[in-house]
């Protein structure tokens, strides 16, 4: 599994116009739950 640096996560989120936390959710369920 790939773990990008947080600065890259924010760049990707900005490019997709989504909040960065949305990049860590699948099917509307957070992995932290």
CA 6 from chain center: how many Å?
A: 9
CA 2 from chain center: how many Å?
A: 12
**b/e for 2-33, b at 16 or more Cβ within 10 A?**
eeeeeeeeeeebeeeeeeeeeeeeeeeeeeee
pLDDT for res 31: 56
> Rounded distance, CA 21 to CA 19, Å?
5
pLDDT tens, residue by residue, 15-32: 999 999 988 876 655 555
β-partners of residue 29 are: 26
**pLDDT at residue 2 greater than cutoff 80:** no
pTM: 0.60
């Amino acid at each position: 599994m790939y773990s990008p640096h947080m600065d890259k996560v924010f760049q990707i989120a900005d490019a997709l116009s989504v909040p960065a936390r949305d990049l860590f959710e699948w099917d509307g369920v957070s992995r932290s739950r």
